Amino acid sequence: MSSFQLEINPDPTAMIQRAAVLWRQWCQEAVTDHGRFTVALSGGSTPKQLYSYLAQQPNLDWEHTLLFWGDERYVPHDHPDSNYRMTRESLLDHIPIPAGNLYPWPTATDPDQDARTYQQLLQQVFQTEWPAFDLMLLGIGGDGHTASLFPGTPALQVEDEWTTVGNKDGEPRLTLTFPAINHSRQVMFLVSGSGKAEILKALLTNPSPLPAQQVKAAGQLLWFLDRDAAAQLPLYFTL
């Protein structure tokens, strides 16, 4: 298990407010350091709460913020299941971000081709051996998946590509690979609710093959939880 930092907030609202404070700080640091703030967004109801909150925050530097997606369902961008649509409705339609700063996954050809296309796009943006996102936002599922890296799927084994095609119950998903995720400067898991307490205990207290436990960070790996999600962690985690 890689080392990580854990922050437990009383409730989802407090957790999201704290995450937004760090978003602003990391954005300022990244823009000062290298002129832009690159963020890979996550799908899911928990990250969505952060997007809605960020949409209301004044004076965030959207001009220099580039938004990517860590994974995407293989549906049109206006489909109810689309992570891009969810982000558009909760954040993008409410902020002054230039259209050229948005990098959604293509989902109109076939999954393998669109995953390759996205990798090429990322390589043009980063021009490095691996993408170094300033911030990688992630959620976890009750089965320990993160992004669209689901237990027992071939996507977990991909080590030489930035993107791949994941699989959820037979449905294709587009996703960053572990190496593409693990070269990020900051990785932040956002996890809330009692429904995640059991999987979090499994992920944070013992070595396991669960996908989310394979995530590392070049810089900080942060687990942001609310009290309900942290309820089954050993006491020393919560002191």
Q: Does 229 bind ligand 6PG (CB under 6 A)?
A: no
CB burial class (10 A; 0-12, 13-18, 19+) of residue 109?
A: exposed
Q: Which residues pair with 177 in a beta bridge?
A: none
CA–CA separation, 131 and 118 (whole Å):
12
CA–CA separation, 62 and 78 (whole Å):
23
Closer residue to ligand 6PG (CB): 85 or 185: 85
Q: Residue 8: which of 235, 185, 220 has the closest Cα?
A: 235
Q: Does 134 bind ligand 6PG (CB under 6 A)?
A: no
Q: Residue 83: which of 93, 92, 73, 91 has the closest Cα?
A: 73
Q: Does 211 bind ligand 6PG (CB under 6 A)?
A: no
Closer residue to ligand 6PG (CB): 70 or 134: 70
Q: Does 119 bind ligand 6PG (CB under 6 A)?
A: no
Closer residue to ligand 6PG (CB): 33 or 198: 198
Q: Does 71 bind ligand 6PG (CB under 6 A)?
A: yes
> Which amino acid does the sequence have at 1?
M
CA–CA separation, 223 and 200 (whole Å):
10
Task: Using CB under 6 A, pick the residue from 141, 144, 166, 211 that binds ligand 6PG.
Answer: 141
Nearest distance from C-beta of residue 72 to ligand 6PG, angstroms = 7
Q: Looking at beta carbons, which residue is closest to ligand 6PG?
A: 139
Q: Does 147 bind ligand 6PG (CB under 6 A)?
A: yes
Q: Does 49 bind ligand 6PG (CB under 6 A)?
A: no
Task: Using CB under 6 A, pick the residue from 16, 30, 44, 122 that binds ligand 6PG.
Answer: 44
Q: Which two tokens stand for residue 79?
A: 């489909």
Binding segment toward ligand 6PG, per CB under 6 A, in 10-18, 51-59, 106-114, 141-149: 141-149
CA distances from 206 to 142, 197, 202, 234 (A): 16, 14, 6, 11
Residues binding ligand 6PG: what is the number (CB under 6 A)?
Answer: 14
Element (H, E) at 174: strand 171-176
Task: Using CB under 6 A, pick the residue from 9, 42, 90, 184 that binds ligand 6PG.
Answer: 42
CA–CA separation, 24 and 15 (whole Å):
15
**Helix or strand or coil: residue 2?**
coil
Q: Does 83 bind ligand 6PG (CB under 6 A)?
A: yes
Closer residue to ligand 6PG (CB): 64 or 190: 190
Applying CB under 6 A, which residues contact ligand 6PG?
42-46, 71, 83, 139-141, 145-148
